[in-house]
Amino acid sequence: MKYVRDIPFKEFVDSHHKAVDEDLAELRRTNEDADVPLIFTETEEILGLLTGLTHPSRILEIGTAHGYSSLFFAKKLPYAHITTIERNPVMVEAAKAEFASRKEGERIDFRVGDASEILNELVSELSDADETEKFDFVFIDAAKSHYREFFEAAEKICTKDALIACDNILLKGWIVEAEGRDAKRHRTSIKYMKQFLEYLQQRDDLEVSILTGADGLAIIRFINEK
């Protein structure tokens, strides 16, 4: 089974990608050269379209890496405030440096530590918050076996009209065809990702779109009573 990242289609998509600015384009190049994990160009295009249509003002990102997607949101939406969470010490130091060297970093609230613990803190902080203080866009791109946990915490601190995007739901295609040594090494993530997608499907109060481009993206919104 072949996926976009394995065939020339990815090169075609990449060739048509237009970065928000040259600074972000250079950051993508340096990250790719250093094999730093970051969103695919196709994923970036989808996130850009979604945020361009919905105009979120408070974005929550779970999984910072070197800060590329946080800076993408900050550059794409110059009025938005971004809260991002990362625990990996190497990633933390790299992201801190990227944020500190750019004016957009002033609008990024970088929370360092375990995502589950920080999400619980945010739930407490926003327990009495009104809609204007809650998050209206969430991007989940962290430990794949914890997506349901992250989602259930995030929905407690979202506005009723928020969108939640979950990246890498195909897990390099293993979600459909788990073969080979790498798939066996990631069997726990595969198991829990399948369970998460089944859970979303069973929720009658959610509208879920599963996109197969790049490494897969789930776009989720809440169905609100009129």
Tell me: the pLDDT tens digits for 75-116?
A: 999 999 999 999 999 999 999 999 999 999 999 999 999 999
Q: State how far the alpha carbon of 125 is from the alpha carbons of 63, 128, 131, 134, in Å.
A: 20, 8, 13, 10
**pLDDT over threshold 50, residue 212:** yes
pLDDT for residue 188? 86
How high does pLDDT run on average in the chain? 91
Cβ atoms of residues 179 and 138 within 8 Å: no
Buried b (16+ CB within 10 A) or exposed e, 167-189: bbbbbbbbbeebeeeebeebeeb
Cβ atoms of residues 50 and 25 within 8 Å: no
pLDDT for residue 200? 97
pLDDT for residue 4? 47
Tell me: the pLDDT tens digits for 145-182?
A: 999 999 999 999 999 999 999 999 998 877 777 666 66
**Overall number of domains in the chain:** 1
Residue 140's CATH number: 3.40.50.150
pLDDT class for 205, splitting at 50, 70, 90?
very high
Weakest-pLDDT range from 2-6, 12-16, 179-183: 2-6
pLDDT for residue 1? 45
Q: Provide the percentage of residues in the chain whose pLDDT is more than 70.
A: 92
pLDDT for residue 214? 87
pLDDT for residue 189? 86
pLDDT for residue 178? 62
Determine the structural domain holding residue 175 and report its residue range: 4-222
